[in-house]
Structure 1
Amino acid sequence: MLQKFKEHINKKFPFLKEQKILIAISGGVDSVVLTHLLKKLNFDISLAHCNFNLREKESDLDENFVNNLSKKLDIDCFTTSFQTKEISKENKESTQITARNLRYELFQKLIEENSFDVVLTAHHSDDNLETFLINLTRGTGLEGFTGIPEINGNIVRPLLAFSREEIVNFATKNNIDWREDKSNASTKYTRNKIRHNVIPVLKEINPSLLETFSNTIKNLKESQQIIDDKIGDISREIISKKEGFLKFDVSKLQQLSNPKAYLYQLLKEYNFMEWNDVFQLLSAQTGKQLFSKTHVLLKDRDFLILSRIEEKNTATSYFIEKNISKITEPFLLSIKKVTEISEETKNNIFVNENALEFPLIIRKWENGDYFYPKGMQGKKKLSKYFKDEKMSLLEKNQTWLLCNNNNDIIWVIGKRQDRRFYVKNMPKIINISILNS
């Protein structure tokens, strides 16, 4: 197996030779064999072990085993203990989900703190088959049948081409010790039921099941790539990007052969679950919204508008006292005295200091607000200004105003200045600008 593994690395993961590697090790045969293989091939490796405290003394014995292995092989080891059950109760999620999240959060932390390039996990082809069958029983789209990715960001899985049988045989022939998780023999969990009750029957029907499955995964990945290419083309036609959100053209979506399927592909990464409701949003009235854990999808006339859900800010107004040069809430704003007017933009205005009454106020717009737009005659209601500018409901809701102490609007921030506060020959000039950072 060592030679086969070496050839596999040279073919699929040659970049690993020059990288600082962190191996996720449980003490089980898979991760222990991965450690021995990489050590024999002289890779720059360290170990990371999570003690989830889910199996009483057994969890501590696993940790001791990993620490002893690291000393024996003369490699660094990072061990971390979690009170997983307590954390899962606090987060109201299963212990399995909690353990997985804690594990990957730890990996990323260790990467940042110790300059590791990648994390290697010991998933193998049997794990891949089990995941495929779990997704099959629960229901999934095509991406759920394309298997565990060999590379996902800085997570690399170099053993996916090898079976559990190959791994165990290598350990046995080379007198490599490992820890056996007794819970793996239990059929309490879905994965174990499939591992012990389903896969043996499938292998009896087809002794070459893993090889056949590998070819199937390859074919499905190629099919998924065709879909991804098509979605990329469709995205360029349908989606326009604006600062902070995406706009989806409803009429173009409705012209597609299967709008619901395309919506799924376009929006699947944004954590929406109720796809019938997403589809019905195409024909909904303006103002209808759907929420995922991370995003909101808004119907606004001829568009669906997607934006990230930000932490709610309870403050509705902010005050700027005289001689303040910068504020950070609700965004970064610079206020400084200057001697002349330079380049004016939507994000950079100049006002007459003599016309200002402090403290200035930053607030959200309200019905009935009006201002005197610079470059235009007369006054205009903000609602009419927004309509003329063809601003979406989302854009309107995100609009802030800079006002004088008497509530006169100085600036529709980032959009249009009020002409009452601007004259070409100002005796005293204040420059107000939005800062990027």
Structure 2
Amino acid sequence: MLSKFQNHIDINLPFLKGKKLLLATSGGIDSMVLVNLCHQSKLDFAVAHCNFQLRGEESDKDETFVKSQIEKLQVPIFIQRFDTKAFAEQNKLSIQVVARNLRYEWFYTLLANNNFDYILTAHHLDDSLETFLINFTRGSGLEGLTGIPEQNDKIVRPLLVFSRNEIEAFAKEDNIIWREDSSNASDKYWRNKLRHDVIPILKELNPSLLSSFENTIGHLKQIQSLAQDATKDLYQKVVNEEENHTLIDLTKLLKHRNHKAYLFEWLQPFGFADWTSVYDLINAQSGKQVLSETHILLKNRDSLLLFPKLHVRGEEVFWIQKEQSEVKVPLKLDFCNVSDISHQSSNVIFVDEDKLQFPLTIRRWQEGDVFQPFGMTGKKKLSKYFKDEKFSLLEKANIWLLCSDDKIVWIVGKRQDERFKITASTTKILKINYTD
């Protein structure tokens, strides 16, 4: 196995040689074998061990064991304890999710603070098969059916070409000692049920299961590469990326039979999970939307608009003093006194300065806001104005209001308020210019 490991590094992972590596080490057989292989291969590495304090004395003994074994090798070691259970309860997350998040957050902190180049984990071929089956059972796109990636950003998994049997045989041959995690014997977790109950039956039916699985993964990765090429090509023709949003042209997209597959590939990175609702947006009325944790997907006429939730609302208020001639945040406005009205446009208004109460404010619109549209005698709710003008959710979200006290002076770039217009009695004309 040592020779196979070294050949694998030389041929497939040569970038690891001469780099500073951080090995995630639990004390179990997989990670202790990885430590041994890296040590015999004379790679430059340190070890990181997490004590999640979930198994009481057993967790502490794992920590003591790893520390003693790594010190014998005269290799640097980092140890971190986490109150995992308390963190999970506080954030209402599962223990498994919290442990994973805490672990990798700490690893990346070590990476940054100690100039490590890569994080190595001891995932192997059987782990990849289990991940495949979990994703297959839950329902997954092509990406979820290609197993565990050998490299993901700074995380590298050099044991993915080895089976659990190979790892166990090597550990016995080299007299490597390790700690058994009692939780691995429990059927409480889905992965363990697959490991103990399902995979043994599959291996009984097909003794070459892992070899067949490797071949299948190879084929799926090739198909995935073809799909990615096609997806990127159509993306250039159908999708426009604007400053604050991304627009998907449905008229162009629906010319393609596999339009749902394209949508899945484009939108999956943004955390969408309810794909039935996403696909239903194609034929939905304008204004319908689907949310992920971070983004909004909105149907707007013949398009889908994708934008971060960050752009939906903002409670900031920006103040403008009387002596200011310009503001640059949150948008660019220029103020100057003029003697007459000229060069009017949607981005320029002229107001009676004496009617203004300084400081002026710039803010987002709120439900219940009203104004008196320029040229009209009555007031109108902004929500009604937006509806009449057929504003999309994104357009409404990006609207800024210029206000004097509690009155709206201007829906910036859209409509001026009648109450501040120039009249025959105006003595000070203030020109306000908005630059996109």
TM-score, normalising length from structure 2? 0.82
1:84 aligns with 2:66: no
State how 1:173-184 maps to structure 2 within 5 Å: 173-184=173-184
State how 1:194-205 maps to structure 2 within 5 Å: 194-205=194-205
Offset at residue 201 of structure 1 (A)? 2.3
Offset at residue 335 of structure 1 (A)? 8.8
Alignment CA distance shift 1:249-1:126 (3 Å) = same
Moved more, 173-182 or 145-154: 173-182
State how 1:136-155 maps to structure 2 within 5 Å: 136-155=136-155
- 1:71 counterpart residue number: 71
Alpha-carbon distance between aligned partners in 1 of 2:29 and 2:62, rounded to the nearest angstrom:
12
Alpha-carbon distance between aligned partners in 1 of 2:115 and 2:350, rounded to the nearest angstrom:
49
Offset at residue 150 of structure 1 (A)? 0.3
Moved more, 5-14 or 172-181: 172-181
1:122 aligns with 2:88: no
Alpha-carbon distance between aligned partners in 1 of 2:311 and 2:15, rounded to the nearest angstrom:
39
1:25 aligns with 2:13: no
Alignment CA distance shift 1:286-1:61 (3 Å) = same
CA deviation vs aligned residue, 1:110-157 (integer Å, no higher than 9, x gap): 222222221111000011111112222222222221110001111110
SS of the equivalent of 1:37 reads helix
SS of the equivalent of 1:243 reads coil
Alpha-carbon distance between aligned partners in 2 of 1:56 and 1:85, rounded to the nearest angstrom:
12
Q: Is the 8 A contact 2:311 2:397 kept in 1?
A: no
Alpha-carbon distance between aligned partners in 1 of 2:390 and 2:43, rounded to the nearest angstrom:
59
Q: What percent identity do the matched residue pairs reach?
A: 50
Q: Is the 8 A contact 1:350 1:430 kept in 2?
A: yes
Alpha-carbon distance between aligned partners in 2 of 1:64 and 1:326, rounded to the nearest angstrom:
64
Letter in 1 for 2:134: I
SS of the equivalent of 1:290 reads strand
State how 1:83-102 maps to structure 2 within 5 Å: 83-102=83-102
Alpha-carbon distance between aligned partners in 2 of 1:384 and 1:18, rounded to the nearest angstrom:
65
Alpha-carbon distance between aligned partners in 2 of 1:408 and 1:231, rounded to the nearest angstrom:
46
Alignment CA distance shift 1:253-1:63 (3 Å) = same
SS of the equivalent of 1:100 reads helix
Moved more, 93-102 or 122-131: 93-102
- 1:341 counterpart residue number: none
Moved more, 315-324 or 255-264: 315-324
- 2:294 counterpart residue number: 294
Alpha-carbon distance between aligned partners in 2 of 1:383 and 1:136, rounded to the nearest angstrom:
45
Alpha-carbon distance between aligned partners in 2 of 1:214 and 1:176, rounded to the nearest angstrom:
27
Q: Is the 8 A contact 2:326 2:335 kept in 1?
A: no
State how 1:153-164 maps to structure 2 within 5 Å: 153-164=153-164
Q: Aligned pairs, how many?
A: 411
Alpha-carbon distance between aligned partners in 2 of 1:236 and 1:219, rounded to the nearest angstrom:
27
Letter in 1 for 2:162: F
Offset at residue 288 of structure 1 (A)? 1.4
1:40 aligns with 2:44: no
Alignment CA distance shift 1:382-1:83 (3 Å) = closer
CA deviation vs aligned residue, 1:158-194 (integer Å, no higher than 9, x gap): 1000111111222211122111112212233222222
Alpha-carbon distance between aligned partners in 1 of 2:312 and 2:383, rounded to the nearest angstrom:
24
Structure 1 runs of 4+ with >4 Å offset: 311-314, 322-328, 331-338, 348-352, 354-357, 365-372, 381-392, 403-411, 415-418, 428-434
Offset at residue 307 of structure 1 (A)? 0.7
Alpha-carbon distance between aligned partners in 1 of 2:16 and 2:267, rounded to the nearest angstrom:
33
Offset at residue 313 of structure 1 (A)? 5.6
Offset at residue 327 of structure 1 (A)? 8.1
Offset at residue 103 of structure 1 (A)? 1.1
Alignment CA distance shift 1:27-1:390 (3 Å) = same
Alpha-carbon distance between aligned partners in 2 of 1:144 and 1:64, rounded to the nearest angstrom:
36
CA deviation vs aligned residue, 1:351-373 (integer Å, no higher than 9, x gap): 99x8886312102356646579x
Q: Is the 8 A contact 2:315 2:364 kept in 1?
A: no
Moved more, 171-180 or 401-410: 401-410
Alpha-carbon distance between aligned partners in 1 of 2:67 and 2:143, rounded to the nearest angstrom:
38
Moved more, 180-189 or 234-243: 180-189
Alpha-carbon distance between aligned partners in 1 of 2:48 and 2:372, rounded to the nearest angstrom:
59
Q: Is the 8 A contact 2:22 2:45 kept in 1?
A: yes
Alignment CA distance shift 1:386-1:234 (3 Å) = farther
Alpha-carbon distance between aligned partners in 1 of 2:325 and 2:109, rounded to the nearest angstrom:
37
- 2:255 counterpart residue number: 255
- 1:264 counterpart residue number: 264
Alignment CA distance shift 1:102-1:312 (3 Å) = farther
CA deviation vs aligned residue, 1:374-396 (integer Å, no higher than 9, x gap): xxxxxxx9999999999744123
Alignment CA distance shift 1:96-1:407 (3 Å) = same
Letter in 1 for 2:280: Q
Offset at residue 62 of structure 1 (A)? 0.7
Q: Is the 8 A contact 1:361 1:407 kept in 2?
A: no
Segments of 5+ residues of structure 1 without an aligned counterpart are 339-345, 373-380
SS of the equivalent of 1:80 reads strand
Offset at residue 5 of structure 1 (A)? 0.5
Q: Is the 8 A contact 2:360 2:402 kept in 1?
A: yes
Alignment CA distance shift 1:177-1:397 (3 Å) = same
SS of the equivalent of 2:310 reads coil
Alignment CA distance shift 1:211-1:248 (3 Å) = same
Alignment CA distance shift 1:383-1:28 (3 Å) = closer
Alignment CA distance shift 1:196-1:397 (3 Å) = closer
Q: Is the 8 A contact 1:250 1:304 kept in 2?
A: yes
Alignment CA distance shift 1:369-1:269 (3 Å) = farther
Offset at residue 69 of structure 1 (A)? 2.1
- 1:400 counterpart residue number: 400
Segments of 5+ residues of structure 2 without an aligned counterpart are 337-344, 376-380, 423-427
Q: Is the 8 A contact 1:326 1:332 kept in 2?
A: no
- 1:4 counterpart residue number: 4
TM-score, normalising length from structure 1? 0.81
